[in-house]
Amino acid sequence: ETGVTQSPTHLIKTRGQQVTLRCSSQSGHNTVSWYQQALGQGPQFIFQYYREEENGRGNFPPRFSGLQFPNYSSELNVNALELDDSALYLCASSPTSGGGHETQYFGPGTRLLVL
Amino acid sequence: AQSVAQPEDQVNVAEGNPLTVKCTYSVSGNPYLFWYVQYPNRGLQFLLKYITGDNLVKGSYGFEAEFNKSQTSFHLKKPSALVSDSALYFCAVRGGPTLGRLYFGRGTQLTVWP
- pLDDT (tens place) for every residue of chain B, 114 residues total: 789 999 999 999 999 999 999 999 998 888 899 999 999 878 899 999 999 889 999 999 999 999 999 999 999 999 999 999 999 999 999 865 666 789 999 999 999 999
Residue A64's pLDDT band (boundaries 50, 70, 90)?
very high
Measured between CB atoms, does B31 come within 8 Å of chain A? no
The distance of B18 to chain A (nearest Cα, Å) reads 25
* Cα–Cα distance for residue pair B51/B28, rounded to 1 Å: 15
Residue A92 to residues A24, A103, A114, B44, B46, Cα–Cα distance (Å): 9, 9, 23, 9, 11
Put simply, the answer to whether B43 touches A43 (Cβ < 8 Å) is no
Put simply, the answer to whether A40 touches B106 (Cβ < 8 Å) is yes
Per cent of chain A over pLDDT 90 is 73
Residue A3's pLDDT band (boundaries 50, 70, 90)?
confident
Mean pLDDT of the A80-102 span = 87
**pLDDT of B95:** 67
Contact criterion met (CB below 8 Å) for B100 and B38: no
The distance of B76 to chain A (nearest Cα, Å) reads 17
Residues of chain A found within 8 Å of residue B105, distances taken between Cβ atoms? 42
Put simply, the answer to whether B42 touches A101 (Cβ < 8 Å) is no
Contact criterion met (CB below 8 Å) for B29 and B96: yes
Mean pLDDT of the A80-105 span = 88
Residue A21's pLDDT band (boundaries 50, 70, 90)?
very high
* Cα–Cα distance for residue pair A103/A92, rounded to 1 Å: 9
**pLDDT of A1:** 62
**pLDDT of A71:** 87
- Residue in B closest to A34 by C-alpha: B101
